[in-house]
Amino acid sequence: MISLVGVELTRYRARRAIALLLLLAALLAAFIAFKSAWDTRPPSKLEIATAKAAAEHEANRSDIRADMATCLKNPEDYLGTGATQQECRDQLAAASASYLPRQELDLTGTLKGNGLGLAILVIGLIIIAASTFAGSDWASGSIANQLLFESRRSKVWAAKAISVTLASGLAAVVVLGGFWLTMYLVAADRDVPHGSAVVNDIAWHVVRAVVLAMAAGLGAYALTMLFRHSVATLAVLFAYAIGGELVVELLPIDDIGRWSVGNNVFGWLETRLEINGCSSLVPGCTQTHISHLDSGLYLLVLLLVAVAASFLAFRRQDV
């Protein structure tokens, strides 16, 4: 089995289409890291001076000064019970930071924005790579030749599945790990606060993303071995992504969003996900929390169904 897995890993690595897809994933990660760092670069001296001048000009407006005087005279009447004069200054005095042209780097914001988007993109490319790897054997007819050298179909299927899963996980570790290492170094260089809680959230996000990438690669491989065409697999996934999610949201069933594949993917990747707890056709929607455990179990069941169907079909159907 180990030798077969090694052969399949070599074949996976040798596929030009797969190499290009993984290279694209790395380039996307590099571009998003550069854009995230550039869009949050520290302000220049000129920008800081301009922001201070704008804040001073705003503070000297007659209406602002009148409001400030009224608030300082009686903060509770102006802002509510318990208000203080310092709160008057904080809320009514224009801070120069609010006039800066961009926000400073925030790793938590990056995690919820570009980081989550990158994880989805990388997993999507891994799905295409896994499907291409399995589909090429059927398209070229080489699967029949492979079974001449190893007649035990279960062993051939398993070796391919293990190699795809390992390769998918390694690709995700390199690309996503490289992205977050870059962002962490940028934050450290700029003395941006990044406490243990933020680092912990990022680390667990990367772990969950890698696990999902491995599962997605295995699932795409299983479906392609079942359909025997990578185009069929990608078409089914694309059709669901476009129409399936819409149909699910339109069903007049309470808490239907909980069973959406897309919501469970985001529920697995995000630190915490809140969704509408009912269909768009049902009034009075409430927020529902999808935990990582719930999302993981839901996606695991789908993966096991796909793997079982693919494995049984490959053992019984003619090649």
Q: Per residue in 245-292, pLDDT tens? A: 677 666 666 666 677 787 888 888 887 776 655 555 555 566 677 788
pLDDT of 102 reads 67
Written as six digits, the tokens of 154 are 């279960």
pLDDT of 105 reads 81
Lowest mean pLDDT among 44-53, 182-191, 192-201, 206-215: 44-53
pLDDT of 99 reads 59
pLDDT of 252 reads 62
Q: How confident is the model at residue 136 (pLDDT cuts 50, 70, 90)?
A: confident
Residues of the chain with pLDDT > 90, as a percent, come to 27
Mean pLDDT on 162-177: 94
- Each residue's pLDDT tens digit, 15-73: 888 999 999 999 999 999 999 888 888 777 776 677 677 666 666 676 666 777 777 77
Q: How many CA atoms lie within 13 A of 171 on its CB side?
A: 36
* pTM of the complete model: 0.79
pLDDT of 318 reads 64
> Average model confidence (pLDDT) for the chain?
81
